[in-house]
């Protein structure tokens, strides 16, 4: 079966791509300005609407801010990971990912990231990790507090990613943490309370900080590998439990119990 023809890029998309290349080539930095609309229209030989569409693409991607007024225009931003992470997660949302698929990567990358920051964590970094652990250990029963607990446990790993010297590895690990955060919300992976999982996370995080203080690379590697395998085990058990519970709920209360109002809408096919 022949592959579908590739969509032809719109002129505004081509212009936005060229502007990105120009920013990189010229080494422009945050706060610097792009040429004004009139100049861009002359350079690209196109209408004002096309230039504005190209700039809007860059704004949505987080690369510029469009300011109005006499001193307005397109101002370059320092890109953050959030727009890229959000777009990738939107793409993968339709792939029906589960925890096992996320952990196939996380078990490899999180271990490499953990090792990469041995000897690179400042006293402030270690203090932030310890503050995160303290917050986790003061959780209370209840859905909202359990949800906060899961997010705090993922934030421990984001703190490590911020110290990683490899920006690609740091991005990939933070992206996987975002994926897990989405799964926590979508699958309500904070219900029911899982004290054994909480206790295991607390122990691994505490021992990791001790290993970081000792700059024990071998210990860090072994702990993070074991931590990821244990977390995958708990995630798989939780997903199975939630799937069984969903079947029970639908059988007992009907297929429309506790669901989004959008479920009452029939999409046009």
pLDDT at 180: 87
Domains, the chain: 12-76 (1.10.10.10), 82-252 (1.20.120.530)
pTM exceeding 0.75: no
Burial of 246-264, coded b for 16+ CB within 10 Å and e otherwise, reads: eeeeeeeeeeeeeeeeeee
pLDDT digits (tens, 9 = 90+) for 13-46: 999 999 999 998 999 899 999 999 999 999 999 9
Q: What is the pLDDT of residue 248?
A: 46
Q: Identify the pLDDT of residue 263.
A: 58
Give yes or no for a contact between 189 and 150, defined as CB atoms under 8 angstroms apart.
Answer: yes
pLDDT tens, 45-89?
999 999 999 999 999 888 999 988 777 789 999 877 887 788 788
Query: What is the residue whose two structure tokens read 């989004």?
Result: 260
Q: What are 47-50's contacts with CB under 8 Å, separation 24+?
A: 50/11, 50/12, 50/15
d(C-alpha 140, C-alpha 42), whole Å = 62
Q: Which residues of the chain have pLDDT under 50?
A: 190, 246-253, 256-257, 262
Give the residue among 114, 146, 109, 103 at the shortest CA–CA distance from 232: 103
Which pLDDT score, from 0 to 100, does residue 128 have?
97
Whether 166 contacts 215, CB under 8 Å: no
pLDDT score of 1? 52
Q: Residue 246: its pLDDT value, please?
A: 46
**pLDDT value, residue 212:** 98
- Is there a contact between 181 and 233 (Cβ–Cβ < 8 Å)? no
Please tell me the predicted confidence (pLDDT) of residue 174.
Answer: 94
Q: What is the pLDDT of residue 257?
A: 47
The residues, any chain, with a CB within 8 Å of residue 134's CB and separated by 6 or more, are: none
Question: What pLDDT is recorded for position 19?
Answer: 95
User: What pLDDT score was predicted for residue 139?
Assistant: 63
């Amino acid at each position: 079966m022949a592959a579908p023809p590739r969509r032809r890029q719109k002129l505004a998309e081509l212009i936005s791509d060229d502007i990105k290349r120009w920013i990189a080539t010229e080494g422009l930095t945050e706060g610097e300005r792009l040429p004004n609309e009139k100049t861009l229209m002359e350079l690209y030989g196109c209408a004002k609407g096309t230039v504005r569409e190209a700039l809007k693409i860059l704004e949505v991607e987080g690369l510029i801010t469009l300011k109005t007024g006499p001193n307005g225009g397109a101002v370059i931003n320092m890109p953050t990971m959030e727009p890229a992470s959000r777009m990738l997660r939107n793409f993968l949302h339709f792939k029906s990912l589960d925890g096992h698929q996320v952990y196939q990567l996380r078990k490899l990358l999180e271990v490499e990231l953990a090792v990469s920051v041995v000897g690179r964590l400042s006293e402030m970094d270690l203090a932030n990790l310890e503050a995160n652990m303290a917050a986790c250990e003061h959780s209370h029963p209840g859905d909202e507090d359990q949800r906060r607990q899961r997010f705090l446990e993922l934030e421990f790993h984001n703190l490590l990613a911020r110290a990683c010297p490899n920006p690609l590895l740091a991005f990939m690990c933070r992206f996987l943490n975002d994926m897990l955060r989405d799964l926590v919300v979508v699958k309500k992976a904070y219900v029911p309370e899982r004290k054994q999982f909480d206790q295991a996370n607390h122990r691994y995080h505490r021992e990791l900080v001790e290993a970081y203080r000792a700059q024990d690379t071998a210990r860090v590697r072994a702990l993070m590998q074991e931590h990821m395998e244990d977390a995958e085990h708990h995630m798989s058990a939780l997903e199975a439990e939630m799937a069984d519970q969903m079947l029970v709920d639908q059988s007992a209360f009907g297929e429309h119990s506790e669901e989004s109002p959008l479920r009452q809408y029939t999409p046009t096919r």
